[in-house]
Structure 1
Amino acid sequence: MKQNKGFTLIEMLVVVGMIGVLAAAVLTALGPSRQKARDTRVISGLNQIAAIAETGFNGNTYPADLAAIKALTGGTTAVDDVKAIAGSDPTYTIGAANSATFAISSVLPSGGNYCVDSSGKRKASSTSVSGACN
């Protein structure tokens, strides 16, 4: 009797099917990780913008707006990165009574907001009003 070595068509189809099921499971598990990565990029961008605003602190005042922050870096900044990921410019406010405080917030891709202010607060689900995170 002649013995053939190799795999049958059925065996190959079963293996390909199992690989497909495993690939689908992995792709499903990666969805939330991508969303968290985008949120982290926005938060990192807000922290960079806050650091740039701190370097622009001059005579007890912070930069007046996002354009002034961009001017400090000479062009493309984290402001552009946050806008590209979040879909809109971050909100930058300075203190109402004076310009000695600032806050910057942005919408996160997964929903909600994140805020960073000059006192060091870094909070999720906050907005910036009059130079402070709420």
Structure 2
Amino acid sequence: MKNLQKGFTLIELLVVIAIIGILSSVVLASLNTARSKGSDAAVKSQLNSLRSEAALYYDNSGSTYTGLFVQTSTSTQPVKLFVAALASGNGVTGATTSTAWSNSTASAWAAAVPLKGQVGSSFCVDSSGYAGVTTATTSVASATAPACN
């Protein structure tokens, strides 16, 4: 009488489970990187739109950004609220925060939002048409002469 056993041994099952675990960890690590890059792409797109819309606003309102930036020190300006919401939506926490400034005559402005995928970097746009990644701690130069560093 032959004793035929069908099935997998315990070792074979453990090897398969180990392989699945290793593959899933690689996939999840790649997924987190893709999420960070996607968040950063959204920030860049929104700030580029802000730059374009601000240029249109400037042309249509007598060469001033007064409606966008009322004063240089208030935190309730529309653009400051916008960049703060972008940073919050991007999941950026810690000491690096979003910044937005205009000069006292509302003729120049700059705005920066920290990037999630590039720690210590911000995406900055300003009224001169600049849009790019800055690595300075403070991306916007100053409130009196706002520009991306």
So what's the TM-score if we normalise by structure 2?
A: 0.66
How many pairs does the alignment contain? 128
2:69 aligned counterpart, secondary structure: coil
CA distance in 2, matches of 1:113, 1:78: 11
What's 1:119 paired with? 128
Q: Name the structure where helix makes up a greater proportion of residues.
A: 1
Indicate how the Cα distance of structure 1 residues 68 and 28 shifts in structure 2: closer, same or farther if over 3 A, else same: closer
Report sequence identity in percent: 31
For residues 34-76 of structure 1, the C-alpha deviation after alignment (integer angstroms, 9 at most, x for no partner) is 3333322332332233334334321111121574436xxxxx9
Structure 2: runs of 5+ lacking an equivalent: none
What's 2:17 paired with? 16
CA distance in 2, matches of 1:2, 1:27: 44
RMSD of Structure 2 on Structure 1 (CA): 2.8
CA distance in 1, matches of 2:131, 2:107: 18
- Checking the alignment, whether the CA contact within 8 Å between 1:61 and 1:99 is kept in structure 2 is yes
Matched, 1:92 2:100: yes
- Checking the alignment, whether the CA contact within 8 Å between 2:51 and 2:129 is kept in structure 1 is no
What's 2:62 paired with? 59
| 1:24 to partner: Cα distance | 1.8
What's 1:4 paired with? 5
1:36 aligned counterpart, secondary structure: helix
- Checking the alignment, whether the CA contact within 8 Å between 2:87 and 2:114 is kept in structure 1 is no
- Checking the alignment, whether the CA contact within 8 Å between 1:49 and 1:78 is kept in structure 2 is no
What's 1:37 paired with? 38
